[in-house]
Structure 1
Amino acid sequence: MEKTVSGDMMNNNSSSKREASASCKKNARASRRQKLELSRARDVGVGEEDNGGVKCRKLQMFQDGKGKGKAESGELSQRVEQNLVEEKDSVRSEKCPNFGLSSICGRRRDMEDFVAVHASLCSKDIGDAPKFHYFAVYDGHGCSHVAKRCKEKLHELVKEELRGKEVVESMEWKEALERSFARMDEEVITCKEAVMAAAGCRCLLPSPESDAVGSTAVVALVTPDKIIVANCGDSRAVLARKGKAIPLSVDHKPDRPDELSRIQAAGGQVIYWEGARVLGVLAMSRAIGDSYLKPYVTSEPEVTITERTGEDDCLILASDGLWDMVSNQTACGVAGLCLDGKVVSMSPPGSVSGEGGGEYHDQACADASLLLTKLALVRRSSDNVSVVVINLRKET
């Protein structure tokens, strides 16, 4: 009897132990499962996806089969969706607009034009730098070394002048560009031998003719909401808005009334020999370089600041090789036809990188720039012709 009772008690104890062990294991498995689920939720919580070429954050919610946390998930998803849209809009606003360029020697013996494009010029700096895209055309005269040096250096000077400014006011844009042009002018004059040597210049060293070398400069800084243009010389910037041409710069010709007055006030003369020329030599009243014509020829640029609108079509920068043969309105009309896809592509397929990084070349803009250079040549332009076309149409 005792053995029977004892056996039953042992059986009951074993059964209780097995049940307790099974319960512990079950609880342990449930605990591990819960921890694993939380871990998975953290691991997949934030990721990235390429949405239309824009890197965006994507939040993934882990939910169990019973639908726990649906209210929290819905509220959080709304916040994430809003942040995602804001982030995409911010990235798009800072993206470099599509552009195309063409630069040809034409009927000249030497090529003295240079073009510079630097997308997102300040984006690689510390976060307090303003974000803008730099486009410029430089038209040299006398020789090519001043224009080439401007291409290599002027954008860096602009970048230095704007460094440390998170928000730039209109007057600050103007002052920064004026200081940049003045520094560029000083460098090509005081360090002319080094500049000539670096460019592999055909001028003899030393030579009086090296003082008669200079370059125009038309520079456009494109921000998400503004177009800042600095012009020195007779290259030009023209904005196409709703198909209408709006000049953003005015050529510096010696017979322009205000320029004529300035030259005469400084003791100089404008002599008409195959057109108006400073001292009968230079056919423009402002340029970088040309030390022998100081102070009559100045490097101080005129700066215009234009607010961008949704009606903007494109911005055209070009040397006078184009503008001497093609009117502002005709140039904007040709560019508009290309942007609308109404002109058969003439440029070779493929893309080129903008200096400063990134693929921003656009076939329609390339066609527009090439067609404009060909139009100038057909109309018997005897000068170098350089054209940059920048698409300002908003993405849909």
Structure 2
Amino acid sequence: MPELMEKVEEDAVPDSPFLPADTVRLTADAVDQSKVEAFEIFIRAGVHASQGSRTYMEDAVTVEEDISSFLRREQAEVVGSCSYFGVYDGHGGTESAEFVRDRLLPNIISQESFPEAIGKSMHDAFLQTDAQLRDTEGVKSDNDFSGTTAIAIFLSESTLHIANCGDSRVVMSSRGKAIALSSDHKPTMPEETSRIKAARGFIEDGYLNGQLGTGRALGNWYMDLKDDSPDGTPGPLTARPDTSSRDVCEGDEFLLIACDGLWDVFSNQNAVEYARQQLRVHNDPQTCSEELVKEALRRNSTDNISVVTVCFSKDPPPKREFKDERPASFRRTLSQESLSSLHRALSKESISSLMKPLDLSES
């Protein structure tokens, strides 16, 4: 299999390429921000989306590298330079994803808590946008059963504010290490399962009440699963996002923001390594997003795929230096991608050999 051996990655690392997509999480060994100085940020972003094998394209995306035109003067003076990125993974139609794409950012900016408390503004804007969806449901379509997940990233000066509702994901590359800045709301994730059951819901075959593959979404008001009024207790299905913030520090290289069509076939670390390899070749976030989508399709992702790559510097990611203490005979020279391809090919060969009928003529 010489085609599997053709690439040797300069900055390969000893992490396993075979981790499932949801195993890399933000842990205690992530960057200690109290010990790292902030640095000057230069934002460059690129986006690419594909319908994939689906009948319809139901994703929507927002990329605003500079939102100063959206802000009032007094707001701009407080927050300084700002960027905003969002990925909305629709289901059951396009209406909800497009509605949230158009309304969520203006709703964030219009909150009374903005810009002093951006995290709260994002949280409240998610609920406001969801309520607006409820009030307009059926206006544009006689059969609007759509809903959408949403992940939004608001960058104010050097601080990232993240709000996530659903199973899209944002991952940071920090010196080549993948750091998840959001948690998926799959119904089968332990924390989400507990929340759903506490709200009198249930999980059936991995689906919320046997109907939805996500535990949180905007829209879907036709389902009798929501109670998201300000004074009410959230129902099994809720639009309330998880929110968090993180300073962008020296060593932080880029963000990958994508719907689950990418993460179904990429682990966090694998996606970072693949993107890093691409950026070291062409240093173009647009091309990087295109290559990630193309590779996800090659790996047989069966969903719509939307990817936003956000770089924090004019320069490509640097070559990674690390000391390998293992004996030379055990050191790896192949890239993560090549090892994954080799693993899949060998697995197929093994399966094929097992499926062949036994030749008993020589027995």
TM over 0.5: yes
Q: CA deviation at 1:133?
A: 0.5
One of 192, 216, 230 as aligned partner of 2:149? 216
Is it true that 1:143 corresponds to 2:93 in the alignment? yes
Over aligned residue pairs, what C-alpha RMSD do you find?
A: 2.0
Quote the residue 1:320 is aligned against. Answer: 260
**d(CA) in 1 for partners of 2:131 and 2:114?**
24
Structure 2 unpaired stretches of 5+ = 1-38, 227-234, 317-363
For residue 303 of structure 1, give the secondary structure of its aligned residue in structure 2. strand
C-alpha spacing 1:192/1:94, structure 2 compared with 1 (3 Å):
farther
Between Structure 1 and Structure 2, which shows a larger proportion of helix residues?
1
**d(CA) in 2 for partners of 1:279 and 1:289?**
16
Alignment of 1:334-373 (within 5 A): 334-340=274-280, 342=281, 364-373=284-293
Alignment of 1:22-37 (within 5 A): none
Quote the residue 1:289 is aligned against. Answer: 219
**d(CA) in 2 for partners of 1:222 and 1:246?**
17
Segment of structure 1 superposing worse, 139-148 or 249-258: 249-258
Q: CA deviation at 1:394?
A: 6.3
**d(CA) in 1 for partners of 2:113 and 2:186?**
33
Deviations 1:227-248 (A, max 9, x none): 1111000000000000000000
How many percent of aligned residue pairs carry the same amino acid? 33
Alignment of 1:94-243 (within 5 A): 97-122=43-68, 124-129=71-76, 130-131=79-80, 132-161=82-111, 165=115, 168=116, 172-194=117-139, 197=140, 205=142, 207=143, 210=144, 212-243=145-176
**d(CA) in 2 for partners of 1:245 and 1:94?**
19
Q: CA deviation at 1:189?
A: 1.1
Quote the residue 1:330 is aligned against. Answer: 270
**d(CA) in 2 for partners of 1:117 and 1:163?**
23
- What letter matches 2:266 in structure 1? V
- Contact preservation (8 Å) 1:141, 1:215: yes
**d(CA) in 1 for partners of 2:75 and 2:258?**
32
**d(CA) in 2 for partners of 1:245 and 1:118?**
24
**d(CA) in 2 for partners of 1:395 and 1:371?**
19
The structure having more radius of gyration, on CA atoms, is 1
- What letter matches 1:182 in structure 2? L
**d(CA) in 1 for partners of 2:114 and 2:274?**
40
- What letter matches 1:220 in structure 2? I
For residue 109 of structure 1, give the secondary structure of its aligned residue in structure 2. coil
- Contact preservation (8 Å) 1:94, 1:223: no
C-alpha spacing 1:190/1:316, structure 2 compared with 1 (3 Å):
same
Structure 1 unpaired stretches of 5+ = 1-91, 198-202, 344-362
**d(CA) in 2 for partners of 1:271 and 1:163?**
39
Q: CA deviation at 1:264?
A: 1.2
**d(CA) in 2 for partners of 1:222 and 1:296?**
31
Quote the residue 1:35 is aligned against. Answer: none
For residue 110 of structure 2, give the secondary structure of its aligned residue in structure 1. helix
Deviations 1:352-382 (A, max 9, x none): xxxxxxxxxxx61011100100111001111
Quote the residue 1:267 is aligned against. Answer: 200
**d(CA) in 1 for partners of 2:189 and 2:287?**
34
Deviations 1:123-157 (A, max 9, x none): 55213432321000000001110000111111110
- Contact preservation (8 Å) 2:41, 2:313: no
Q: CA deviation at 1:389?
A: 0.1
Is it true that 1:383 corresponds to 2:303 in the alignment? yes
Higher relative contact order (CA 8 A, sep 6+): 2
**d(CA) in 1 for partners of 2:190 and 2:136?**
33
Q: CA deviation at 1:256?
A: 1.5
Q: TM-score under structure 1 normalisation?
A: 0.63
**d(CA) in 2 for partners of 1:223 and 1:140?**
27
